[in-house]
Every structure is written in structure tokens, then in C-alpha cells.
Structure 1
């Protein structure tokens, strides 16, 4: 796309920025919407918006048009992701951890195969990659319409200000800040890494598929075991250090493709641990329902992290290719400070074993949420 449409790395990175900025902002209203029209309708609307945006992107002839469609894509993804997370948990009351493991496995499978499929289609044309996305999302729409039963709106709809009020909790705010900071590093790596490598779409797809395989292993296999043996908070701290170190190595050896490639793939292990455990901690420490808590930290994570792709491209243009990765490493390392900020609230969490049920999990339905677990331990994906 950069070659055919004449965009610089910073300009092309706006495809990430517009998508994530709108998604982050829209996360605030997902609970407000789903609690009024039901989860099933919200999910179908979200998939419809994604499919339309993908088709529109494939038919565009200017980078600015695609950036606009990507913003619409972010809106649809916000409606789908936040609601799907709560819907999957609600379908398995009393088996919270198992539900999230299923979710992690599904997301991981998509992350592992999506880049490769996108690379293969992108080798034909970047338009084919967008059309492939539209086709997969249309298939998802059909499956969801057939399988998922209709769900009514909540008896007590969620207030639109609920996600903001939830962030007043020190522990949840700390978790949101940690998530934001390591996603700044991740988004910079994802958006600027391909420009540094300069590989073909297919080869780039293989690399990020390798990253996805590592992510699946860490989130589905390693994270639950480390949570039991070491504890969620210490594992998150160690993963932040390791991810920041990996980004630092990329910053130092930016000119060495083999090193950058290896670091991108290996970083999937650390991001997988963070994805699986950061939000689990947030859901345990939070005093609000799961959907509201998810909307709160997602707003901070994606809304704030939206600047990373553009900033990485801009820094690479005005300085040198090493600087974006150094900045990403610094942002990730700051996550340790954010984790320490909430240490008083987080110290009350169980260090080992499965987390116990929160007070609101014993209520059915949960107050103010369109879909919330009725009982069982609270773990959810970051």
C-alpha cells in the first residue's frame, strides 16, 4: 500500500491509528448500547460495520479513504470485542477460567493464521487482503446469527459514564495504565517492524504468524500455570521486563533482520502472558461488573495507544529507525511503575491458585451490565 498509494510510513501507520483511536473511544459506549439492545444485536451490528468497512477499504483509491474506513472498522470492532468477551463468559457460568481459555484459544488461532492469510492475499493485491477480511467477517455474521440465541437488554441499563467512574478505582486504573504502556510498545513494533524488515507480504505474514503461535502458547498454556505457581502479578512484572528487553534488543540491532525477526516472534510469548493476566488482575480487583471494567481499561488501552503507530513512523522519519523501538521499550518499562502504583490494591489479590469470586459475581444479573457472569471466578482476556 505504501508503494502503490505513495504513503510514507507515518501516513500508512494512520491506518492503525484511526482504527484504534475510534475503537478506544467507542469502548466507552459499548456497555450502554448492549445493555439496551441486547448482546446478540450488538455483536451483529459490530460485524456488519467491520464487513462494510473492509469492502469500502478494498474499493478505495486513496490512502485517506482507507484511513476513514478503518475508523469505521474500529467502531465495529469495539462493539464486537467488548460484547463478545462478556457473552462467552456468560455462556459458561461457574467456569470463568475455562471460558476465557476457550476465548484465548480462538483469538490466538486467528492471530496466528490471520497474518499469513493476509500476506498471501496481499501478495496478490492489498485489495484482496481487505476482501478476504470482509469474507471472513461475513461468515462470522452468518454463524453468529444461527448459533447465538437472542438476548434481551439488561433490566438496569448501563450508564454511559460507568466506565469513567470505574477508573476511579486505584487498582483498575493501575491495570489500565499497564495495559496502555505495553500496548504502546506492541503497536509500535507491529506498525513499524514491517518497514524495517522490508520483506514481501508473505514472508512478513510468516513472521507475525510465528508471533501469534507464541502468543497462543503463552496465553493458553503458560499463563494459567504461571498464575498458579508464581502468581499473576509477579508474572506480569517479569513479562514487562522481558518484553521491554526484547524491544531494546530490536532498537540496538535494527539493521540486523535476523535479530529483529527473532525478537518479533519471541515477543509473542511475553505479550501472550500479559494479555492473559493483566485483565484477569483488573477483573479481580475491580468492584464493577465485567463489561464495565472491560470497557474502562479498553478505552485507556486503545484510545491512548492509538498514537503509537503514527508516532513510531514519524520518529523513524525524523530521526533514525532505532528510535521508535527505543521509545517503545521505554514505554513498556514504565508499565512496572504503573503496576507499582496499584500495589496496595493488587496486594490483596490471591497470589496463587484460581481467583475467588468477586462480590458482584454472586448476583444475577450483575448490576448495570448487559451481560455479566452470575457466579464463579473472574478471569478475562486483556
Structure 2
């Protein structure tokens, strides 16, 4: 009996190590929130920018009904937005190195305000799709520059800055659908005007609180993002993200059509999803990465995403099951987002802004294909088929990552 007790009771070293890990996690989280006002101003604007992605989510079925459009037509609201965002990422470094990061952020915010307002005034689906593309231009200028600015002005190192950025992403993605559901239950145009108002607040915050961030020492050529992708490690992470985001945006944009809920119901489900996304990003991802390392963390989490998407395909006719799986996916996606963003910042010798732009080009381009394709697949095959296609895409990304893992020697 005494032998069994010796085996089951942890020794002093195990207890000490556990206490040390808890202290490190607490200090890591504490460092995230000990930031200067400039970092908080940009982070707030990031929250609103990411709200703009999820804000439209709960009203997709309403837009389809009001404008007599098919699911694949309505999904083009995300396809045009993400495609332009991805492509325009390639010029953000070139522009930012010439007019400065702060001015690039402000121009991006102004463009978002303009096109979200015009989107609220659109009279047909084609016009709305085009205006969302313009919104994507502003989003590209802002998001790509914002990560580099937060890293440069924040305290506590790049890891804390990245977690602050991912926390803003999680908060924006959680509050966006809830606010979109509330405003959308009044009228589908409400969320578009809501984004414009909130982004105006973000514009004022950045303008007042962010002191002018110095321009890079040298001007970045237009070819810089393509040149950075010649690094095999960054190219591997970028291509992995391309296929991973196919799954991410299939979940986000297609699920509202199979939940059979009203605007507020869809908004609440994706609010829970966004909360889980933030929890995964802030609280779980750092522990995963410190215990397993970057490569193993990404691999295992992507396995979990593949399994969950496959289960969603099986249970696509059962709304309550889909809701549970959507919440679980929020946790997995949050972990993956943070670990993958950290990997991008560490894997390449290129400047952070250049590496971020190249990576974002690939991941948003991959995400742009999935909304439209999900609508088409559901119309011609079955309502569960888009989830299987998404799972297959993430599997391709995982296999690519595993087979090329030796090319990422900078990662643990």
C-alpha cells in the first residue's frame, strides 16, 4: 500500500515545477495587459476591424432572403472581402515604408468607414459584393500594419504583443456576431452602419493616442513579400495557413445557413465561439507552445480541427450538435491562430511587417475561396459536404506542414 501511495503522490520537484509553470503563465498574461496607451489604441481598432468580419455573419440568411440571392451569391460577400484583403497585403509594406505606419493605419480605417457606410446603402447583391471588396482594401492596409505596430510600441516583448493582437482578434470575432445579430434583428443594414460608427471611434483613438511610429530605415520594394516567401520556412507556414483558413472561413461563413436560427440566435452562437477563440488564444496557446513546442502544437491542434470538421459534416442535420462543435472549434482555432502567428514572427529573417504581409496574403487568399465554394458544394451535393471539404483542406495543410517541418529550423 505504501508503494502505491509513493507512486501516486507527487514529489517536491513536481509540485515546485507545477507552481513555477503557474507563475510563468500568470506573468505572461500580466505582461499582455501592461501596455502603453498607443498599443491599446491600435488594439481597440483591431477589435473593431475583426468585428467587421463576424458582424455580417448572422445576417447572411437575411440578406439572401431580402435580395433574393442564393447562399453561394451571399457568400461572395466574404469571398470578395477576403480576396482583396489578401492581394492588397502585398502592397502594405511598400506603402507603409513611404508614408509611415500611422498614416497607413489611418487611411485603412477611413476606407473601411467609407465602404461599410456605402454597404449599408446598397440596393442589390452585386453592389454589396463590390463594396465589401472595397472594405477589404481598407482591412488589408490596417490589419497588416497593425500587427507590426503593436509589436513595435508594446512592452513585454513580441510574445506579449502577439497575444494582445490575438486577444483583440478573439474579442472582435466574439462581439462582432453578437452585435451583428442585435443590429441585424432590426434590419440587415444595421451592422454595416454599426461598423462605420465603431471604426470612427477607432480612427480617433489611433489618431490621438498613437504617436507617429518611425518609418522603416529603408523603403520596402513591391517585391519584398515575394522575396520573403523564398524562405522555405515562411512559405511552409503561409501555405499551411492557406489551407487551414479554408476550414476556418467555411465554419464561419457557411454555418449560419445550417443552424436554422434567427439573427440574434446566430449572433449568440458565434459570440460563444469568439469567446472560446479568445480563451484559446490567450490562456491555452502559451501553455501548449511551452510544453509541446511550436511544431507539435500546430500539428496536434490541426488534427483536432480536422476531426471536429468531419464530425460537423456527420451531424450537419442536428443544430444543437453543430452549436457544441462550433464552440469547440473556437477553442482549437484560437490556439492555432496564436501559435501560427508566433511561428510567422520567428521563422523568417525578414522584417516582421514584410513577413506578416506575405503570410497574410496566402492565408486570406485561401480563406477567400472557401465561402463561395461552400455555398456551391451545399447546393449541388449536401448540407454536410462543405465541412468534409474543409476538413480535407486542413488535412492538406497538415501534411504539407509535417513533410516540410525540417525547413523551419528556427522553430521549436
Tell me if both proteins adopt one fold, taking TM over 0.5 as the criterion: yes
Aligned to 1:42: 104
Give per-residue Cα distances to partners, 1:265-312, cap 9 Å, x unaligned: 110111111100112122212121111111111111112321110000
What residue is the counterpart of 1:359 in the other structure? none
CA distance, structure 2, for counterparts of residue 131 and residue 124 of structure 1: 12
Alignment partner of 2:327 out of 253, 261, 265: 265
Residue 123 of structure 2 aligns to a residue in which SS?
Answer: coil
Aligned to 2:164: 102
Q: Is the 8 A contact 1:22 1:71 kept in 2?
A: yes
**Partner SS, residue 126 of structure 1:** coil
> Is residue 309 of structure 2 the alignment partner of residue 247 of structure 1?
yes
- What is the match of residue 346 of structure 2? 284
Report the counterpart of residue 380 of structure 1 in structure 2.
none
Q: 1:192 to 1:350 in 2, by over 3 A?
A: closer
Alignment of 1:182-197 (within 5 A): 182-197=244-259
Separation of aligned partners in 2, 1:85 and 1:309: 25
Equivalent positions of 1:16-31 (< 5 A) are 16-31=78-93
The TM-score normalised by the length of structure 2 is 0.83
**Shift in Å, 1:29:** 0.3
| Pair 1:306 & 2:306 matched | no
| Alpha-carbon contact 1:172-1:286 (below 8 Å) kept | yes
Q: Distance in 1 between matches of 2:390 and 2:108?
A: 31
SS in 2 for 1:213: helix
1:192 Cα shift?
1.1
TM-score scaled to structure 1, two decimals?
A: 0.90
Q: Does 1:229 align with 2:291?
A: yes
- Asked whether 1:59 is paired with 2:121, we answer yes
Matched residues in 2 for 1:301 and 1:104: separation? 15
C-alpha offsets along residues 241-281 of structure 1, whole Å, 9 cap, x if unaligned? 00011100011111010111111111011111110011212
Say if 1:168 and 1:54 are closer, same or farther in 2 by CA, change over 3 A. Answer: same
Tell whether the 8 Å contact from 1:52 to 1:134 is kept in structure 2 after alignment. yes
**Does the CA-based 8 Å contact 2:149-2:213 persist in structure 1?**
no
- Residue 135 of structure 1 corresponds to which residue in structure 2? 197
In structure 2, the partner of 1:325 is 387
Taking the aligned partners of 1:250 and 1:94, their CA distance within structure 2 comes to 39
Q: 1:205 aligns with which of 267, 277, 298?
A: 267
The partner residue of 2:187 within 109, 125, 131 is: 125
* Distance in 1 (alpha carbons) for counterparts of 2:378 and 2:125: 20
Would you say 1:349 and 2:383 are equivalent positions? no
The RMSD of aligned alpha carbons is 1.2
Quote how far apart the aligned CAs of 1:334 are. Answer: 1.4
Q: Distance in 1 between matches of 2:346 and 2:216?
A: 23
Structure 1 position 126, deviation (Å): 0.9
Partner of 2:132: 70
Aligned length: 350
Q: For 2:343 and 2:217, how far apart are their aligned partners in 1?
A: 28
Separation (CA, whole Å) in 1 of partners of 2:223 and 2:69: 38
Distance 2:392 2:171 in 1: 30
Distance 1:25 1:272 in 2: 24
The structure that is helix-richer by fraction is 2
CA distance in 2, matches of 1:185, 1:223: 19
Q: SS at 2:297's partner residue?
A: helix
Q: Is the 8 A contact 1:37 1:152 kept in 2?
A: no
**Counterpart-to-counterpart distance in 2, 1:350 and 1:165:** 20
Taking the aligned partners of 1:167 and 1:22, their CA distance within structure 2 comes to 19
> 5+ residue gaps in structure 2?
1-62
Structure with bigger gyration radius: 2
Q: CA deviation at 1:204?
A: 0.3
